[in-house]
């Protein structure tokens, strides 16, 4: 149990972060804003190297920016024993984990075992063995009265929020259909790129990012966001049981070829490290970053697909596609060429609605929503209507990290994390890790 003095009441500076091995920039994004509860002293434990330097440089950029600067004071310990040092010192009460995923689940388990709260970037498990560790971590966190939570930023994307609201309008949406494995009721597809330009500069990825044993395959990584949104939108506030409510019906994975020159451009590393050699054939690195999962939740068929290409063609970018079929309407989120690679929300009539009833209900719903949100309706294409959203509602992906943190810190105070959160986290990682094993049995990665 947490000592009494470690209980949270919302006072200023009571949350003392312990940032462990911040190899992913998401660790720094949690500190982009100075939330009232956060203590400005942050203890950082890591080995020396470019990943730690990048984290500290980002924190320094937040501290020195002209508008609304932060005032973080990182206290850094570097050494190969950084994790053991962190556990022995316990200079904080919330461990932040965002980086190399190979040991992340072990770090989670040992941190909650030591009586520390944990806020972890996805994925919290990348294979069946780490899923077993994660289950133990949730059991131990409950025993020690600490909170373990993953960073699901997509719940704070306004398009996802609005879709969820519309799905709960039964006159408009009806109920979600069941679909089939071949034609699922819910489809989500996400296309990403290893090499991209961010703020005018190429994004440098660590070499280990290309190692599926350290980063995890695509089928267990980005898919966590997609599955989380399926649960959150289609089964709102329902505690799902991965043993009873979920069935993975099919899964596949495939590799993206990366030449040495592409690897150099992306990582600034001249040669493939030794740990990648088993994935190299004829001087080309094969990264199992692509995958698809077919599964059922309470008999609703879902299809998830993730693709990683090396680089988007000029003038294009990442793409996304979501289709959720209701009996009276279908909701679509599209981010492709027609949308200028910006996500847009559409709706069209479902099988159980007449055209007049559908029009009447969508106009009613949008008129009601106008009292709360800056939205409107316009004709689109392929029998779809676009639900236009004011640009003012797009606060950007980076802003969502602070929103996740605020939600989590409030849980620390109230000790009232919704009962569905932990079961649904287990569902999410059960699906991804089960799908990975299924895909590997069909086609071994190496």
Can you tell me the distance from the alpha carbon of 42 to that of 15, in angstroms, rounded to the nearest whole number? 10
Q: Which domain holds residue 39?
A: 17-150
**Average pLDDT score over residue span 246-256:** 98
Note whether residue 353 is domain-resident: yes
Give the pLDDT band of residue 363 (cuts 50, 70, 90). Answer: very high
Residue 226 and residue 131 in one domain: no
DSSP 5: G
Give the total number of structural domains in the chain.
Answer: 2
* Model confidence at 3: pLDDT above 50: no
Contacts 24+ apart (CB under 8 A), 440-446: 440/253, 442/251, 442/252, 443/252, 443/253, 443/254, 445/212, 445/217, 445/253, 445/255, 445/279, 445/288, 446/278, 446/279
* Model confidence at 264: pLDDT above 70: yes
Residue 292 and residue 268 in one domain: yes
Can you tell me the distance from the alpha carbon of 436 to that of 292, in angstroms, rounded to the nearest whole number? 10
Q: To the nearest whole number, what is the mean pLDDT of the chain?
A: 95
- pLDDT reported for residue 398: 84
Residue 178 and residue 249 in one domain: yes
Per-residue exposure over 177-208, b if at least 16 CB sit within 10 Å of its own CB, e if not: bebeeeebbbbbbbbbbbbeeeeeeeeebbbb
- CATH number (domain holding residue 222): 3.30.360.10
Note whether residue 416 is domain-resident: no
Residue 64 and residue 112 in one domain: yes
CA distance to 20, 60, 123, 406, per residue, from 398 (Å)? 20, 17, 18, 14
- pLDDT reported for residue 199: 55
- CATH number (domain holding residue 28): 3.40.50.720
| Pick from 10, 13, 205, 14: nearest CA to 100 | 205
Can you tell me the distance from the alpha carbon of 108 to that of 146, in angstroms, rounded to the nearest whole number? 12
Between these two residues, 323 and 6, which has the higher pLDDT value? 323
70-109 pLDDT, tens digit per residue, is: 999 999 999 999 999 999 999 999 999 999 999 999 999 9
Residue 202 and residue 107 in one domain: no
383-415 pLDDT, tens digit per residue, is: 999 999 999 998 888 889 999 999 999 999 998
> What pTM did the predictor assign?
0.95
374-387 pLDDT, tens digit per residue, is: 999 999 999 999 99
**Average pLDDT score over residue span 9-13:** 93
Contacts 24+ apart (CB under 8 A), 329-332: 329/166, 329/172, 329/173, 329/174, 329/353, 329/358, 329/361, 329/362, 331/163, 331/166, 331/167, 331/173, 332/384
- pLDDT reported for residue 408: 96
Residue 132 and residue 184 in one domain: no
Domain boundary among 150, 183, 200: 150
Residue 76 and residue 218 in one domain: no
Between these two residues, 313 and 21, which has the higher pLDDT value? 21
Residue 239 and residue 145 in one domain: no
Residue 178 and residue 218 in one domain: yes
Note whether residue 405 is domain-resident: no
* Model confidence at 137: pLDDT above 60: yes
* Model confidence at 5: pLDDT above 80: no
């Amino acid at each position: 149990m947490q000592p009494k003095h470690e209980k949270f009441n919302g006072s200023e500076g009571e949350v003392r972060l312990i940032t462990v091995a911040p190899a992913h920039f998401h660790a720094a994004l949690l500190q982009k804003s100075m939330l009232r509860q956060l203590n400005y002293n942050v203890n950082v434990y890591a080995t020396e190297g470019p990943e730690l330097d990048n984290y500290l440089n980002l924190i320094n950029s937040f501290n020195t920016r002209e508008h609304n600067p932060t005032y973080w004071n990182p206290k850094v310990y570097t050494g190969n024993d950084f994790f053991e040092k962190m556990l022995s010192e316990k200079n904080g009460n919330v461990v932040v984990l965002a980086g190399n995923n190979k040991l992340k689940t072990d770090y989670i388990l040992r941190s909650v075992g030591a009586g520390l709260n944990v806020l972890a970037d996805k994925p919290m498990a990348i294979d069946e063995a780490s899923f077993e560790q994660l289950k133990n971590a949730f059991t131990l966190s409950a025993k020690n009265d600490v909170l373990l939570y993953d960073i699901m930023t997509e719940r704070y994307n306004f398009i996802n929020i609005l879709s969820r609201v519309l799905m709960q309008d039964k006159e408009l949406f009806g109920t979600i259909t069941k679909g089939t494995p071949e034609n699922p009721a819910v489809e989500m597809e996400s296309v990403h790129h290893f090499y991209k330009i961010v703020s005018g500069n190429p994004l440098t990825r660590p070499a280990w990012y290309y190692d599926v044993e350290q980063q995890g395959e695509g089928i267990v990584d980005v898919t966590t966001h997609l599955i989380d949104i399926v649960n959150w939108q289609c089964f709102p506030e329902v505690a799902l049981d991965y043993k009873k409510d979920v069935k993975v019906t099919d899964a596949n994975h495939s590799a993206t070829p990366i030449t040495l020159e592409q690897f150099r451009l992306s990582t600034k590393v001249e040669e493939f490290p030794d740990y990648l050699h088993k994935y190299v054939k004829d001087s080309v690195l094969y990264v199992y970053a692509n995958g698809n999962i077919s599964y059922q939740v309470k008999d609703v068929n879902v299809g998830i697909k993730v693709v990683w290409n090396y680089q988007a063609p000029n003038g294009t970018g990442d793409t996304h596609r979501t289709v959720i079929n209701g009996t009276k309407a279908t909701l679509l989120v599209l981010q492709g060429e027609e949308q200028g690679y910006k996500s847009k929300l559409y709706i069209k009539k479902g099988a159980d609605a007449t055209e007049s009833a559908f029009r009447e209900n969508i106009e009613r719903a949008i008129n009601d929503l106008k009292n709360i949100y800056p939205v409107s309706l316009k004709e689109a294409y392929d029998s779809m209507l676009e639900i236009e959203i004011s640009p003012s509602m797009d606060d950007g992906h980076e802003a969502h990290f602070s929103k996740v943190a605020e939600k989590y810190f409030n849980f620390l105070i109230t000790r009232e994390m919704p009962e569905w959160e932990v079961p649904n986290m287990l569902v999410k990682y059960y699906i991804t890790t089960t799908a990975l094993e299924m895909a590997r049995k069909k086609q071994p990665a190496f």
